[in-house]
Chain A
């Protein structure tokens, strides 16, 4: 505490005369009420809250900042190792023309992140920031070199292991000018290693685990082709049942775009690539790498939180295709204002695994052919049509067909692959310039799991300050009659310039809340929720 005051008092003083100081604050608080019908359990402390204050001070080349976090206690659904309060993030940064260095906490990403990415996703309670030092050097437009060393954040403590990384990126666009024409080509290479002492009595574990990744990024006016391959030395861990097999991952993406039309294709194969700075870590703890989930990121609640795909670092193979098309104005399908259509498909399987005899293979675990697939994990076919019908009315239609391997993706048994059809109709009607009403009608139809669901949402907004909404999710098709419950929520919000209040009361359905393929389970709850956010 004392050292912080010493560090930051000068900042406040400086801020008065020169430089700038700004920040933001966020408070999420929830009061829990008992509701046995939906299985909502009231925690010992009936009021829980997550609060954050960020401060950033900047003067010339120097930037310093901190984030104070308080979990008193953490909201349900968040990892309860977030407990108490502290300055969880503080940094000093100097940014010169060709050189940037940071001390303290920092986030970094090499390439697509498949080998190294640290980031914060507050809604998930995900934060794997480094605490250490980093340097980025860009001597000219073509070369960028980044280096870092640090320990990762693990809730309110640090990981046992240390991570060291180097990334070099070379832009060949200028040197291959005559060959490439209007195209651009960038190549990159990353090297990452981690160190953790071996105190395991059963196995002789590697203390230094090295890894590398190579990437190429070729783009033209109308297309982009990106590919990255990552390899990791043998890294026995709690995640792979302490096998001594190496890991690898490949991502290849292509996109094409021209006026009114665009499509993208993604391919991904991941084999034993859970890479963490602690070999005992599980769940979403101290991950060094990030494996993006190439699936549609849905926003409607039935589509987004009942059967979402979570990325599988131990092994997955699959891909995604997406097409965007705009029917022009004043055509048969475009109508007066044009019509936008989005088609998306993704599917994922386990990689093939042929089990090996541990006694003869020194714990290699399994072998796998590159293109062979194992069990089906997930598929999502969806189409969305957006149309402005008149100056005042906009409509959106969505259909999705999901196949979801609940046993694997949620670690349960006896459910198998849950197949569902989902339809959504959304309409916005602008009553007068600042008043609008928006409705969503959603239906999810399945013979399995919890059966059919319906959601009705009505939202009324008065720009720019007021927001009122009523929502009911009804599990009308549950085979268990007692579970045919309504999950109603009423909420209202007020926002003005830089601050925003949101108050809601009602039932929250148990679900899976995901961002970027990383998910957290939210338990059923009943109660009052308050959110406050402000910038200053």
Chain B
């Protein structure tokens, strides 16, 4: 029981005080295996969608495929940029670039092969999508993907632009 209270204390304490999560600073790689620091993720003061995915995660690929179809439209309306972070480790890393060619996504893609960025952003499972405002703060996030959920993300994006 004691542990239950402690657990609740941590959880509720965290919820009560949680605020202003920003894009965390972590050292990751480009898909050409160059060092890249996440502080360099930027979009000239426009919103960013940060999407954690993996080559073996079907809902992730579904989500990013579906967004790719409407991405041009989203960009015209909101100037948003989507940055996809692959959490594939060295098992699947070599498949990332070849797979991206057949997926043909219009996104910036980075590799977080030992999940340093994932942990810093408190991502449990993929897909996990963040909407980031002009000041690099997380304004909305969502775990998992169901067909059509990209419309909700777009609504959130429009809300952000309107503010």
Contact = CB atoms under 8 A, between A and B. Distances in A.
A21 B19 CA distance: 6
B140 A533 contact: no
Nearest to A55: B14
Contacts of B62: 428
Contacts of B108: none
A340 B89 CA distance: 24
Interface stretch (A205-213, A292-300, A353-361): A292-300
A260 B100 CA distance: 9
Interface stretch (A104-112, A155-163, A505-513): A104-112
B33 to A, nearest CB: 6
24 contacts: A20-B22, A22-B19, A22-B21, A24-B124, A51-B7, A68-B6, A107-B115, A119-B114, A122-B124, A141-B35, A224-B33, A226-B33, A258-B101, A262-B98, A263-B98, A290-B89, A434-B147, A438-B147, A462-B146, A464-B142, A493-B144, A495-B142, A535-B124, A535-B141
B23 to A, nearest CB: 11
Interface string A230-264: 00000000000000000000000111111111111
Q: Which 9 A-B pairs have the closest CB atoms?
A: A262-B98, A436-B147, A463-B148, A461-B146, A464-B149, A292-B91, A324-B102, A434-B148, A297-B56
A56 B11 CA distance: 12
A112 to B, nearest CB: 4
A297 B77 CA distance: 38
A534 to B, nearest CB: 8
A326 B102 contact: yes
Interface string B121-163: 0111100000000000000111110111101100000000000
Contacts of B33: 184, 186, 217, 219, 224, 226
Contacts of A21: 14, 17-19
Interface in B79-137: 89-92, 94-95, 97-104, 113-116, 119-120, 122-125
A255 B101 contact: no
A20 B7 contact: no
B40 interface: no
Interface string A174-199: 00000000001010000000000000
A425 interface: no
A342 B92 CA distance: 14
B143 A322 contact: no
B142 A498 contact: yes
Contact of A53 (B7, B92, B120): B7
B149 to A, nearest CB: 4
A536 interface: yes
Contacts of A493: 144
Interface in B30-47: 32-35
Contact of B3 (A70, A256, A430, A517): A70
Contacts of B18: 20-23, 536
A500 interface: yes
A147 interface: no
Interface of B: 3, 6-7, 10-11, 13-15, 17-22, 24-25, 27, 32-35, 55-58, 62, 89-92, 94-95, 97-104, 113-116, 119-120, 122-125, 140-144, 146-149, 151-152
Interface in A47-102: 51, 53-56, 58, 63, 68, 70, 72, 85, 95, 100
Interface residues of A, number: 92
B147 A461 contact: yes
A136 B90 CA distance: 21
B91 A516 contact: yes
Given A21-B19, A25-B11, A53-B10, A255 B141 contact: no
B101 A435 contact: no
A384 B13 CA distance: 47
Given A21-B18, A108-B114, A294 B91 contact: yes
Contacts of A144: 35
Contact of A224 (B92, B97, B147): B97
Contacts of B114: 107-109, 113, 117, 119
A16 interface: yes
Interface string A452-471: 00000000011110110000
Contacts of A58: 22, 24
Contact of B143 (A257, A264, A324, A498): A498
B94 A253 contact: yes
The CB with the most chain B CB atoms within 10 A, among A141, A144, A324, A326, is that of A324
Contacts of A450: none
B148 A464 contact: yes
A68 B7 contact: yes
Given A85-B3, A322-B95, A430 B148 contact: yes
Nearest to A324: B102
Contacts of B144: 467, 493, 495, 500
Nearest to B92: A297
Contacts of B100: 257, 262
A12 interface: yes
Nearest to B155: A464
Contacts of B24: 56, 58, 63
A15 B21 CA distance: 11
A466 B19 CA distance: 27
Given A224-B94, A297-B91, A325 B147 contact: no
